[in-house]
Amino acid sequence: RDVASEAMNQHLVTRLRAARRPVVLTGAGMSAESGVPTFREAQSGLWARFDPMELATPEAFERHPQRVLDWYAWRRELVARAKPHAGHRALAHWEAANPALWVITQNVDGMHQRAGSHRVVELHGRIDRDRCHHCAAVAEPPAKACARCGGPLRPDVVWFGEMLPEQALRQAFQAVVEADLVLSVGTSTLVQPAASLPEEALAAGVPVVEINPEATPLSDRVDHWLPGTASAWLPRLVA
Ligand code: BJW
Ligand code: ZN
């Protein structure tokens, strides 16, 4: 590493630590190094021939419920075996040092909480819960049908074409417009409305820093794009 980029990194560390109301936005890349595959990566083995974008829809569940439930059962197992990594722990430490920090995640795996973060807003639900596809009553797996209305149970996550949980969405937009620094980690920034959060920050003049090994639609407009992984960058920046 050359002296100039070391100096820039040091400058970034100072800015992040000085932030009074930081917000961290996380996506599937945050969990990749814990062993949970991202959505846009090729899926492995059994599921290689299915496009996650076509499984994560109400239409897929209505047409092929067992296929969708089997995919979720496979992913639930990956999540249960996965462990938070140094990047998750760095964010938990950051919250301990700065209790105003928010983590706003698109992930459904609960990994931030397992690492010790408390102020986590979950935009896309949780894979370890079920809810009724008809009346939205929450249920514990492995029940098969909803006790209240007899409707089919499905993972308590947000599929394409479905609304995000209203309160989480409201909290997320509020946190971002009140933030003095936004850090976007491991998201392709393609899926709405989550992809609008860093846009709102940029429009409000809030500095945005992005950690992602690949460029995204955001990368050439953020204040700093840090090409690399969550577990490599976060402990250096904020732990
Ligand atoms: C690393 C790394 C490492 C790798 N370290 N980084 C046209 C225009 C605009 C919007 C729409 C449109 N057509 C349809 C829409 C709406 C639609 C949408 O946005 N579609 C786009 C694809 C175009 N959105 C919706 O439907 C949303 N609802 C909605 O809009 O409601 C209003 C409405 C309702 C009805 C009618 C009309 C409007 C709902 C979206 C729900 C998304 N759900 C999923 C599944 C969740 C459940 C589950 O887990 O199964 O959420 S899809 C999937 O994408 C999942 C993710 O949370 C989400 C985002 O993905 P993410 O996190 O960015 O992951 P990847 O895989 O895309 O990227 C990983 C990144 O990590 C990459 O960049 C890597 O480089 C990087 N990476 N390793 C750091 N180690
Ligand atoms: Zn029901």
b (16+ CB within 10 A) / e for 119-129: bbbbbbbbbbb
Q: Are 206 and 59 in contact, with CB atoms under 8 Å apart?
A: no
* Residue 65 pLDDT > 80: yes
- Say what the pTM is: 0.96
Superfamily of domain 37-81+128-157: SIR2/SIRT2 'Small Domain' (3.30.1600.10)
* Residue 9 pLDDT > 90: no
Beta strands 102-105 and 208-211 are: unpaired
Q: What is the whole-number distance in angstroms between the Cα of residue 3 and the centre of ligand 1?
A: 37
187 known ligand binder: yes
Alpha helices in the chain (DSSP H): 3-18, 28-32, 52-55, 58-63, 65-81, 86-97, 111-115, 166-178, 196-203, 230-238
Ligand 1: list residues with CB < 6 Å: 27-29, 32-33, 38-40, 56, 106, 108, 124, 127, 157-163, 186-188, 190-193, 211-214, 216, 229-230
Query: What is the tens place of the pLDDT at every residue in 66-95?
Result: 999 999 999 999 999 999 999 999 999 999
**Confidence bin at 142 (pLDDT 50/70/90):** confident
Res 140: pLDDT: 84
Task: Starting at the earlier edge strand, list the strands of the sheet with 138-139.
Answer: 138-139, 125-132, 153-157
Which residue's alpha carbon is at the smallest distance from atom 68 of ligand 1? Answer: 188
Res 5: pLDDT: 84
**Confidence bin at 49 (pLDDT 50/70/90):** confident
Q: What is the whole-number distance in angstroms between the Cα of residue 147 and the centre of ligand 1?
A: 31
Topology of domain 1-34+84-123+163-239, CATH: Rossmann fold (3.40.50)
* Residue 43 pLDDT > 80: no
Token match 């920046």: residue?
237
- The residues carrying an active-site annotation are 124
- ipTM, 2 dp: 0.96
Query: What is the tens place of the pLDDT at every residue in 16-26?
Result: 999 999 999 99
- 105 SS3 class: strand
* Residue 138 pLDDT > 70: yes
Domain chopping of the chain, boundaries:
1-34+84-123+163-239, 37-81+128-157
